[in-house]
Amino acid sequence: MTDFVAADATTASAGPAEKPATKPQRPHFSSGPCAKPPGWSPEKLDTRVMGRSHRSKLGKARLQHAIDLTRKILQVPDTHRIGIVPASDTGAVEMAMWSLLGARPVTLLAWESFGEGWVTDAVKQLRIEPTVLKAPYGEIVDLTTVDQSHDVIFTWNGTTSGVRVPNGDWIRDDREGLSFADATSAVFAMDMPWDKLDVTTFSWQKVMGGEGGHGVLILSPRAVERLESYTPAWPLPKIFRMTKSGKLIEGIFKGETINTPSMLAVEDYIFALEWAAGIGGLNALIGRSTANATALGRIVDERDWLGHLAADPATRSTTSVCLTVDGADEGFIKKMASLLEAEDAAYDVAGYRDAPPGLRIWCGATVDTADIEALAPWLDWAYATAKAG
């Protein structure tokens, strides 16, 4: 690939930059909802369940099929429960926090906006006076300082900062508290050490490119034991309740959802899971995300005006890759993103509203590496055009 060299202030004044000849075939680089799996079309969804009750034999079977495929692709051990819950990853995290916290001290780790949101819930809503460890955007807290006699809540991969935990080695096997991982931009793209994780949450709108609105909650035996032995001091909304008479409501983890799910969204998720199984499962998904992030990394390395918000490669995301743009403010980034969208070259690439001004390119498994590579000259064009304008 021949790189288009971005115009500097001198050359930009001579005229508009030339548009590249080739565009990404699928310019969907949003960090959620994310690109659909290759080959997706609505005609490929199984519509037998449309217009049927989710509590019908067929409806429950399809929900259970989605859970079973999730277990298979993610290699979740049989000891862990998997449930489909309302309100996306946010619903799953809050369901777990409200149901499980309060039994022992709590530590929250935050290095991006969603981690900050869980801090707000703990401090202002549950009022449990947690220990809070924070790091600015692009950095991560010192994981060796985490007190694991506490329940610990963290974001595995910060969608808004592009910072991830490097692995699960810092979580002790003999921990006294529960580990809560908001893993919505990590599952299906990174190895999840299930023996280290007691509560894991995600939404399938991220790495699998599913439709939004539904969350997934994965509980270890330690988390189930907490649920059955502890009653929170605060009232629980119906939508958060996972126990009845001190026992886990097992139906939640067998396709009997707490509220009515979108069966269209469930079928969409099943399509993505079956696509994943067809290309080789988890290893193939991780490989695709890694290849995409590597290709984007080469693009960044070849340009003086681009950089990574996450400076340390060991904690750099391979899905929601956040980039800095030399000298850019919010207005400049919006202009670049608008130029790219108007040309159908890249959609939704402006960084998150609370993050430092920059670009955010989704590199999850449903994106093709060829489209990441085709994006390079368009980034140059948008940068040069924004500077000239």
All structural domains of the chain, each given as residue ranges with its CATH number in brackets, are 9-38+281-388 (3.90.1150.10), 46-277 (3.40.640.10)
Strand partners, 361: 321
Count of helix runs (H) and strand runs (E) in the chain: 9, 14
Mean pLDDT of 267-283: 98
pLDDT of residue 6: 43
Q: Is residue 33 reached through a cis peptide bond, with omega within 30 degrees of 0 on the bond before it?
A: yes
CA 211 vs. chain centroid, Å, equals 13
CA atoms within 13 A on the CB side of 256: 8
Mean pLDDT of 279-298: 98
What amino acid occupies position 76? V
Mean pLDDT of 86-105: 98
Structure tokens that stand for 337 in this block? 């993103």
Unique residue bearing structure tokens 């469930």? 266
DSSP 325: E
Is the pLDDT reported for residue 11 higher than 80? no
Report the C-alpha gap between 154 and 96 in whole angstroms: 13
Is the pLDDT reported for residue 233 higher than 90? yes
Residue-wise pLDDT tens digits, 304-342: 999 999 999 999 999 999 999 999 999 999 999 999 999
Structure tokens that stand for 86 in this block? 């309302």
Which long-range CB contacts under 8 A does 42-48 form with residues at least 24 apart? Answer: 44/271, 45/264, 45/267, 45/268, 45/271, 46/267, 46/270, 46/271, 47/267
pTM: 0.95
Instruction: Taking the CA atoms of 218, 221, 222 and 224 in sequence, report the sign of the dihedral they define.
Output: positive
Is the pLDDT reported for residue 5 higher than 80? no
pLDDT of residue 35: 98
Is the pLDDT reported for residue 4 higher than 90? no
Is the pLDDT reported for residue 13 higher than 50? no
Residue-wise pLDDT tens digits, 165-200: 999 999 999 999 999 999 999 999 999 999 999 999
| Strand, coil or helix: 217 | strand
Structure tokens that stand for 211 in this block? 């439709």
Pairing mode of beta strands 106-110, 131-134 = parallel
Residue-wise pLDDT tens digits, 118-173: 999 999 999 999 999 999 999 999 999 999 999 999 999 999 999 999 999 999 99
pLDDT of residue 158: 97
CA 338 vs. chain centroid, Å, equals 24
Q: What pLDDT band is residue 389 in, cutting at 50, 70 and 90? A: confident
Q: What pLDDT band is residue 12 in, cutting at 50, 70 and 90? A: very low
> Residues 6 or more apart from 351 whose CB is under 8 A from it?
160, 322, 323, 333, 357, 358, 359, 360
Residue-wise pLDDT tens digits, 35-94: 999 999 999 999 999 999 999 999 999 999 999 999 999 999 999 999 999 999 999 999
Residue-wise pLDDT tens digits, 342-383: 999 999 999 999 999 999 999 999 999 999 999 999 999 999
Is the pLDDT reported for residue 1 higher than 60? no
Instruction: Taking the CA atoms of 278, 283, 289 and 291 in sequence, report the sign of the dihedral they define.
Output: negative
| Strand, coil or helix: 345 | coil
